[in-house]
């Protein structure tokens, strides 16, 4: 039975847009949403195994527009599970069909800055405009899991909430929600912290997250050294929570350098990453890769961001100075 139009809802759709209602969800002929990218300050890869992680949102965002269409598409390309997995699974898990999806992004793909998670979150927000934050984080994580095969809720949770989050296997007083997957339960909490000066350096090498996550899983199961490194990353992340709350940049930098050494042990650093880290080390409190690794980006905490940017560019990378605080997922007015 076709969905019948209604004109008495309170969903505040744009003037001139028709509005439709199915079950308890208002569906619009046209909706739009956005979500921020992220950096992982501490704990990437280890968080997949239930260890702690700290993530912050960036000002860079992905924007999604949804329109009713006879043929499902993603930026004009037919939608399917192989070529457009995040959009495909977002539609299926949200219960929507018959839409055309248009996407624009400030976030470079494959750079470790959370582009796929931001896409998943923005898609679900656009497909389900009235969804609550807790359900948005859960459903977006399920999209990532379906698209990648293995994931933690760190990226989708920060894209949902914005600002800064702390993920742990333990409950906290600041808990926003908990999510279970891959036989692990993660507790996601808001982390109150001051702005810290960060420069992001992009190696120019794009690396898909899924294969790197699976690589670490294989090494984790095979080698005790990798299991010990993962556990140590979790412990230093706990120390980093205290340092961030105190805004102790010296200690934050020391822990970043230690985290980077452990990421090298588990096999996700690269020659290009190490080259940029070596370039910025004289001008930074600390530096490390951020995200899955294998290329992508580094982050450096510094009081001299322009000098760090220059050092990155002299080594062939691209750099930008950013704010680490940002609003989370939101609906956008047309």
Instruction: List the catalytic residues.
Output: 155
Q: d(Cα 150, Cα 59) in Å, to the nearest integer?
A: 27
Pairing of strands 53-68, 164-168: antiparallel
d(CA 37, CA 114): 5
Which H or E element spans position 40?
strand 30-42
Greatest distance between any 2 Cα atoms in the chain: 67
Tell me how far apart the alpha carbons of residues 149 and 229 are, in angstroms, rounded to a whole number: 23
Strands 30-42, 330-331: pairing kind: antiparallel
* Helix, strand, coil share (%) of the chain residues, nearest 5: 40, 30, 35
Hey, what are 270's tokens? 């690269």
Partner residues linked to 36 by β-bridges? 61
The Cα–Cα gap between 137 and 159 comes to 8
- Find out whether 55 and 154 touch, Cβ atoms under 8 Å: yes
**Residue 302: φ, ψ to 5°:** -155, 155
DSSP H stretches of helix in 197-304: 209-222, 224-246, 249-265, 271-280
Distance CA 301, CA 140 (A): 30
Q: Which of 151, 156, 155, 152 is nearest to 169 (CA)?
A: 152
Name the token pair of 278.
């070596």
Question: How far apart (Å, rounded) are the C-alpha atoms in residues 115 and 120?
Answer: 9
């Amino acid at each position: 039975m076709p969905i019948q139009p209604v004109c008495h809802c309170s969903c505040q759709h744009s003037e001139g847009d028709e509005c439709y209602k199915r079950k308890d969800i208002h569906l619009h002929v046209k909706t739009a949403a956005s979500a921020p990218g992220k950096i992982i300050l501490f704990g990437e890869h280890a968080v997949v195994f239930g260890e702690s992680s700290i993530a912050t949102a960036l000002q860079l965002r992905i924007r999604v527009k949804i329109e009713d269409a006879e043929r499902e598409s993603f930026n004009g390309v037919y939608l399917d599970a192989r070529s457009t997995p995040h959009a495909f699974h977002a539609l299926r898990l949200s219960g929507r069909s018959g839409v055309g999806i248009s996407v624009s992004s400030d976030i470079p793909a494959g750079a470790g800055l959370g582009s796929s998670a931001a896409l998943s979150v923005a898609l679900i927000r656009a497909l389900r405009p009235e969804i609550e934050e807790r359900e948005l984080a859960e459903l977006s994580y399920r999209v990532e899991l379906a698209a990648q095969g293995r994931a933690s809720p760190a990226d989708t949770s920060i894209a949902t909430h914005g600002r800064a989050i702390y993920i742990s296997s333990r409950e906290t007083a600041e808990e926003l929600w908990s999510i279970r997957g891959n036989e692990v339960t993660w507790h996601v909490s808001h982390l109150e912290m001051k702005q810290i000066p960060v420069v992001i350096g992009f190696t120019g090498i794009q690396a898909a997250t899924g294969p790197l996550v699976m690589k670490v899983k294989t090494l984790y199961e095979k080698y005790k050294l990798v299991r010990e490194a993962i556990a140590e990353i979790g412990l230093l992340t706990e120390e980093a929570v205290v340092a961030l709350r105190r805004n102790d940049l010296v200690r934050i930098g020391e822990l970043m350098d230690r985290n980077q050494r452990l990421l090298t042990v588990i096999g996700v650093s690269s020659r290009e990453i190490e080259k940029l880290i070596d370039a910025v080390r004289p001008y930074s409190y600390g530096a490390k890769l951020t995200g899955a690794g294998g290329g992508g980006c580094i982050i450096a905490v510094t009081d001299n961001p322009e000098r760090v940017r220059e050092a990155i560019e002299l080594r062939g990378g691209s750099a930008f100075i950013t704010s680490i605080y940002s609003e989370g997922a939101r609906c956008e007015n047309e």
